[in-house]
Amino acid sequence: MKSYDGRANAVDGISLEIAKGEFLTLLGPSGSGKTTTLMMIAGFEEPTSGAIELAGEDLTHRRPYERNIGVVFQNYALFPHMTVERNVAFPLRMRGFPRARQAERVREVLDMVGLGRFADRQPRQLSGGQQQRVALARALVFNPNVLLLDEPLGALDKNLREQMQVELKRIHREVGITMVYVTHDQTEAMTMSDRIAVFSHGTLEQTAPPLDVYHRPRTRFVGEFIGDSNFFGGRVEAGAPGRVALDRLGPIQADPDACRRLAGASVDVLLRPERLQLQHAGAALPNHVALKIGVIVNYGDSVLVIGDAAGQSVRMRIAGAQPDAVREGATVIVGWRPGDEHLIARS
């Protein structure tokens, strides 16, 4: 737990176990507690209560430089008056690394991040992506047990950010280091992580592999925060196995196992837009509704359709080109199969 004023908790009741060599992403909106959690692991913030352990060793009251943990910040934090080589060598000098081996180790790490030929340049002579690689090399050069990354790609443009995502995954694979990564970007979390820990208002909503978080969110907040979503309120019918009565759309067939677990409960029904399909003649789907199309957004590789079904806003994503029947103002029949939805008990 972490409180700055003794009244409100910036982080409250967080318990995380991170496996050696894992890539764990702390994901959440601004102010959710993810960066505060990272800073407590790094030693820049001290928990109000609780403990931080690494391989069974208590680090809670140790200073940052005593933890053998590397940190990469969004603003790079490079020394402007030092060359790339001296920036990367700095942690080795501070830790008393054998002087005879410093140059060799710096070259190894610069080659790893693709900056071997830039060793003699200063940070101002590098692009933003190159500076971020220098910061990454500096955090890796002393062989830390854990590498912490605080929104390291936030200042880069889309193409550079995607390139660096690939690079970080490659380095993680090659080095095998434990990485804890903070971001508010869902795509980064989904594409890079072994597991995602979703934060909200200082609490941990769910920790699971990316596809579990996406397809089987534990709370409505997780389902809304990650990816695009449709949510329908309803109640699982206790006397009719596999049926859910939606508040506006009427009864639907749902996953029987989920209905058995939640028999009689009020639920939020999550249906991802890509699970909805256009109903074709002779191929009726068990669950279907009439959708009056309001807005069409064409992304090139897919089409997002936003419309109204019985007063309920519904979003549908169609892969590929826009079908002829899909036009603004038209009414189409859309449907989905039982099990394409996910049921979340209302708290």
Confidence of residue 160 (pLDDT cuts 50, 70, 90): confident
Residues 67 and 211 in one domain: yes
- Over the stretch 181-206, which tens digit does the pLDDT of each residue have? 999 999 999 999 999 999 999 999 99
Is 63 found in the same domain as 199? yes
What is the domain count for the chain? 2
User: For residues 38 and 25, what is the distance between their CA atoms, to the nearest angstrom?
Assistant: 10
Residues 189 and 280 in one domain: no
Q: Alpha helix (H) ranges present in 113-205?
A: 128-140, 158-175, 186-192
Going by pLDDT thresholds of 50, 70 and 90, the confidence category of residue 19 is: very high
Both 176 and 147 in one domain: the answer is yes
Pair (163, 311) in one structural domain: no
- Is residue 243 located within the same domain as residue 203? no
- Given the DSSP bridges, would you call strands 250-253 and 57-58 parallel, antiparallel or unpaired? unpaired
Give me the mean pLDDT over the 146-165 stretch: 90
Residue 44 domain boundaries: 2-220
Question: Are residue 57 and residue 196 in the same domain, yes or no?
Answer: yes
Domain-terminating residue out of 176, 192, 220? 220
pLDDT reading at 281 higher than 80: no
Per-residue pLDDT band at 284 (split at 50, 70, 90)? confident
Instruction: Count other C-beta atoms under 10 Å from residue 205's C-beta.
Output: 20
SS3 state at 225: helix
Rounded to two decimals, the pTM is 0.94
pLDDT of 283 over the 80 cut: no
Pick the last residue of a domain from 220, 252, 275: 220
**pLDDT digit string (tens) for 227-256?**
999 999 999 999 888 999 999 999 999 999
